[in-house]
């Protein structure tokens, strides 16, 4: 994990960072605001209380087996040896799983995990190609179809078509090193037409965000 982080930040570069809003984020004077959290949040309702060392895949499966609501779905093979230490100080289940995801694999690849349809957990290597594109303040699929905001998923790469031309770090063709590309860590959708993407990286100031993407109010709602 140390070597991977040093590689990621070894060269100066511009990055598209979040949050990245679409639609009209307004604060209403009256009404009821209900925040709904996904089933990932239930993982931290349980504590992990033992010290274990095993492959990343086996560790993820063992931790998921202790959850009351989330089950293992697609858990890819990762033979990197990892340690989870909940003894003598217990750690929350979700935090332990997040730690395993963070270390990646023995080749330095980035991995991701999350709870998706039917409360199933997916653990796999992070994508290496962008599936979304931001163009003139509108979010599209890579095929050019305008995205329905309620269907946008985390764990994807998004490309900023309006970003200035830039280059990856020397000797790298990795999409994570492309200044125009960012990884979507989290998605917040507010019905009927408000979306905010939390992107990997340092949070920008509001002024930096305003300059990052030119957004037309008439073009961003879906």
3-state secondary structure of 123: strand
Domain end position, chosen among 98, 125, 152: 125
Q: Are residues 44 and 119 in the same domain?
A: yes
Tokens 């200044």 appear where? 179
Task: At 219, list the tokens.
Answer: 């073009």
Question: How far, in Å, CA of 148 to CA of 190, rounded?
Answer: 13
Range of 23's domain?
Answer: 2-35+127-212
Q: Are residues 158 and 187 in the same domain?
A: yes
145-192 per-position pLDDT tens digit: 999 888 899 999 999 888 776 555 555 566 777 778 888 988 888 877
15-46 per-position pLDDT tens digit: 676 667 776 555 555 777 777 888 999 999 99
In a domain, 218, yes or no: no
Question: How far, in Å, CA of 166 to CA of 12, rounded?
Answer: 11
Number of domains in the chain: 2
On whether the pTM is more than 0.75, the answer is no
In a domain, 185, yes or no: yes
Q: Are residues 68 and 120 in the same domain?
A: yes
Q: Are residues 178 and 68 in the same domain?
A: no
- Give Cα separations from 40 to 58, 92, 120, 156, 159 (angstroms): 19, 12, 10, 17, 26
């Amino acid at each position: 994990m140390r070597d991977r982080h040093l590689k990621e930040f070894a060269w100066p570069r511009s990055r598209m960072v979040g949050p990245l809003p679409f639609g009209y984020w307004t604060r209403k004077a009256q009404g009821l605001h209900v925040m709904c959290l996904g089933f990932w949040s239930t993982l931290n309702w349980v504590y992990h209380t033992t010290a274990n060392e095993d492959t990343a895949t086996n560790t993820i499966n063992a931790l998921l087996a202790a959850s009351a609501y989330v089950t293992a779905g697609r858990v890819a093979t990762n033979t990197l040896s990892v340690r989870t230490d909940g003894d003598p100080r217990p750690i929350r289940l979700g935090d332990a799983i997040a730690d395993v995801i963070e270390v990646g694999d023995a080749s330095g690849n980035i991995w991701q995990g999350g709870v998706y349809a039917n409360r199933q957990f997916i653990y796999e290597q992070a994508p290496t190609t962008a599936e979304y594109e931001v163009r003139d303040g509108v979010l599209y699929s890579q095929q050019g179809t305008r995205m329905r905001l309620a269907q946008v998923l985390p764990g994807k790469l998004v490309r900023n078509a309006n970003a200035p031309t830039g280059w990856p770090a020397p000797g790298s063709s990795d999409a994570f090193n492309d200044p125009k590309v960012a990884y979507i860590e989290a998605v917040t959708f507010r019905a009927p037409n408000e979306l905010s993407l939390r992107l990997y990286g340092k949070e920008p100031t509001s002024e930096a965000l305003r300059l990052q993407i030119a957004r037309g109010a008439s073009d961003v709602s879906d």
